[in-house]
Structure 1
Amino acid sequence: MPSPVDLPETFTARPATTADVPAVHDLVSAVERETIGVVETGADGIEAALTRPGLDATVDSLLVHAADGELAGWAWINRGRRAQVDVAPAFHGRGIGSALLGWVEARAAEVGVEWVSQTVEDLDQAGAELLRSRGYEVLATNWQLEMPATDLKVELPDGVTTRTFRPGDARAAYQVIEDAFDDWQPRRKEYDEWARMSIERSSFAPGKSPVAFVGDELIGAVLSLDLPDSDDGYVEQVAVRKDQRGRGVAKALLAVAARAMHAEGRTTLTLWTHSGTGALAMYERLGMTVRRSSTVLRGRV
């Protein structure tokens, strides 16, 4: 059973299942339209979050319904450390967000961790204020970057070749990506979790996901998604093996991805980067600009 949740009268709660994905997607879409003006989360991303290895939806997720059955809010927490809470705009100011945040913290305490974090859009002032009122502090910043998805010239470094992603590339791509993220992410994902959140999503776009090789060794990858509610081309992950950095491999891979996106009518390539990676300046040198930002807030439980 999930942890208790202290809800306002007439509201009820239960764990989420994959059958709830369409309703949750509607809720998240409404939140994103109100906060950032566009929908960026696909239904397959919600399904992946609920079915990722390490998250047991029966105890690590919660839906809140109003008396008439309308979905008012939802939350999940992964391995007791990272959480998400969303409240439908029509139910703001009713105490749903506070109740769900209290549930998240109770679940984190059950798991036995000391801290839990949540990412909040910087445009969501009310959400950030709620977290800060409970003692949450800034842990990191995320920036969404963009560049025109034009027919860019691809300049490959000497000895480097590229092609689009194939299923047989999965293990090598995972190794390069997780090695690259080891310097800043709090824990290394196991292969099954990484795959569920990336290449196993229905929106994964292998034709817009170039990989780079030196000889037979995969040394870089750009993994892209086709987000159904967005006109942008979206890059989910970028990584280059440490011994190959500084040669222009990332720039070449992003140019290949942008050309593929442009060929299908996408006008802009976007991606997120985290302050822990130290990659913002590199992306800006490639001609990318910041569209907006979000903040990772962490609180003690």
Structure 2
Amino acid sequence: MMRSEVADGCTVDFPLLRWKSAGNGDVQAWAALIARTAAVEKPVWFEHQPELEQIMESRKNPPEHNTVLGFDPDGVVRAYARITKNTDSEKAYGFGCVDPQWQRRGVGSALLEWLEARTRQRFAEDAGAVGEGTQNGTATPRLRIHNEQQHQHQAALFTSHGYEVVRYFNEMHRPLAAPLPGVVLDPGLELVTMGPELSEAVRLAHNEAFRDHWGSEPKDEESWGFIVNDPQARPDLSAVVLERSTGTVAGYQLAAHDAESAVTRGFSEGYTDVLGVRREFRGRGIASALLADAMRRFAAEGFDVASLDVDSENPTGALALYLKMGYKPVNQSLAWDKALGQPA
């Protein structure tokens, strides 16, 4: 049996691997594990080393308490899991993968059990931090995990552990070779390129715009930083619509580009990571103008498609808008939830 060094007394029940929380010296090997797995499973998106380095800097979800890596006898990382959670949230998010050479041995089940145990701990810790009398202090621990529809082995694992699908999301593409729509805004509005001086105002506008979206939680400075400072973020391909008379942020489109995906997927894409319009400005064509502007920026970069993801039950009618703009669904992903009782 291999010795494990996992913080918080939360261990992984798979003794053929040595388990420890992620440290800065592990990031390269961690990224190599994800890349090996992605080469076989071919997900639409996966984390690269720069994203993992960003994760290592998290203050809300410090990696020494919220990650676990499994090493084989030769010191190769073969599996990982991590959770993220806001202090006052009613759910935690789980992430992980298992090296294809180590799948079908029970590692995935062991990681799910660790994720669930650590989620219970986080709820208990956060209840103490915000007060037992708050909503979070009495909430049932809940873990949410996302996967792509193509990964049926993951779906089977989640189902066998009592998870249920609670939402579907569509990945949508819009070919940029087709004629592009014009960018039309009324005279009281102006469109500008996203810059760091707008970041805080856009963050506040985002929290307002997404207040009625399923599963969305307000972005604090750290979680917002994960978006605007992401290594793949492209502020030069992003835009903000301002009200001319007040300078108020009416809407925004934040774009990203993964240069490596052009090799793995066979086409290049400009990705709209976040698109939002504040309530009082809806119905004025702002989202359409932002998408049209994004398409033109992406096309000027030589990208093949504009892409985005949308909640299939989005209450703002976003799916209908995207279809009207020429986007078509190409893939689907799922959100799985499990309500966790207290440990026996």
C-alpha change, 1:273 and 1:206, in structure 2 (3 Å) is same
Contact 2:69 2:80 in 1 (8 A): yes
Question: 2: CA distance between counterparts of 1:235 and 1:52?
Answer: 24
Contact 1:118 1:298 in 2 (8 A): yes
Residue range with higher mean Cα deviation, 196-205 or 179-188 = 179-188
Following superposition, the deviation at residue 300 of structure 1 comes to: 1.9
Partner of 1:243: 280
Q: TM-score, normalised by structure 2?
A: 0.81
Partner of 1:88: 99
Question: 1: CA distance between counterparts of 2:80 and 2:13?
Answer: 12
Contact 2:203 2:219 in 1 (8 A): no
Q: Which amino acid aligns with 1:210?
A: A
Partner of 2:144: 117
Instruction: Spell out, residue by residue over 1:173-193, the C-alpha distance to the aligned partner (whole angstroms, 9 max, x if none).
Output: 111212122212446334312
Contact 1:42 1:229 in 2 (8 A): no
Aligned identity (percent) is 25
Contact 1:25 1:42 in 2 (8 A): yes
Q: Which amino acid aligns with 1:227?
A: D
2:225 paired with 1:196: yes
Contact 1:61 1:75 in 2 (8 A): yes
Contact 1:5 1:102 in 2 (8 A): no
Partner of 1:214: 243
Question: 2: CA distance between counterparts of 1:26 and 1:32?
Answer: 10
Partner of 2:329: 290
Question: 2: CA distance between counterparts of 1:233 and 1:25?
Answer: 23
Following superposition, the deviation at residue 285 of structure 1 comes to: 1.9
2:187 paired with 1:148: no
Question: 2: CA distance between counterparts of 1:36 and 1:277?
Answer: 27
Question: 2: CA distance between counterparts of 1:292 and 1:298?
Answer: 20
Question: 1: CA distance between counterparts of 2:58 and 2:68?
Answer: 16
Following superposition, the deviation at residue 28 of structure 1 comes to: 2.2
Partner of 1:137: 164
1:1-301 correspondence runs (5 A): 1-36=7-42, 40-79=46-85, 81-112=92-123, 113-150=140-177, 152-159=180-187, 160-186=189-215, 188-215=217-244, 216-230=247-261, 231-278=268-315, 279-301=318-340
RMSD of the TM alignment (CA)? 2.0
C-alpha change, 1:152 and 1:179, in structure 2 (3 Å) is same
Q: Which amino acid aligns with 1:154?
A: G
Q: The residue matched to 2:16 in structure 1 has which SS?
A: coil
C-alpha change, 1:31 and 1:276, in structure 2 (3 Å) is farther
Contact 1:42 1:228 in 2 (8 A): no
Residue range with higher mean Cα deviation, 255-264 or 14-23 = 14-23
Q: Which amino acid aligns with 1:270?
A: S
Contact 1:149 1:266 in 2 (8 A): yes
Instruction: Spell out, residue by residue over 1:241-276, the C-alpha distance to the aligned partner (whole angstroms, 9 max, x if none).
Output: 112222221121112122222222211111111235
Question: 2: CA distance between counterparts of 1:277 and 1:210?
Answer: 22
Partner of 2:129: none
Contact 2:70 2:80 in 1 (8 A): yes
Q: The residue matched to 2:224 in structure 1 has which SS?
A: helix
Q: The residue matched to 2:105 in structure 1 has which SS?
A: coil
Q: The residue matched to 2:146 in structure 1 has which SS?
A: strand
Q: The residue matched to 1:30 in structure 2 has which SS?
A: helix
Question: 2: CA distance between counterparts of 1:26 and 1:263?
Answer: 33
Structure 1 unaligned segments of length 5 or more: list them: none
Q: TM-score, normalised by structure 1?
A: 0.92
Question: 2: CA distance between counterparts of 1:191 and 1:154?
Answer: 34
Of structures 1 and 2, the larger Rg is shown by: 2
Question: 2: CA distance between counterparts of 1:276 and 1:68?
Answer: 47
Question: 1: CA distance between counterparts of 2:22 and 2:92?
Answer: 19
C-alpha change, 1:3 and 1:251, in structure 2 (3 Å) is farther
Q: The residue matched to 1:48 in structure 2 has which SS?
A: helix
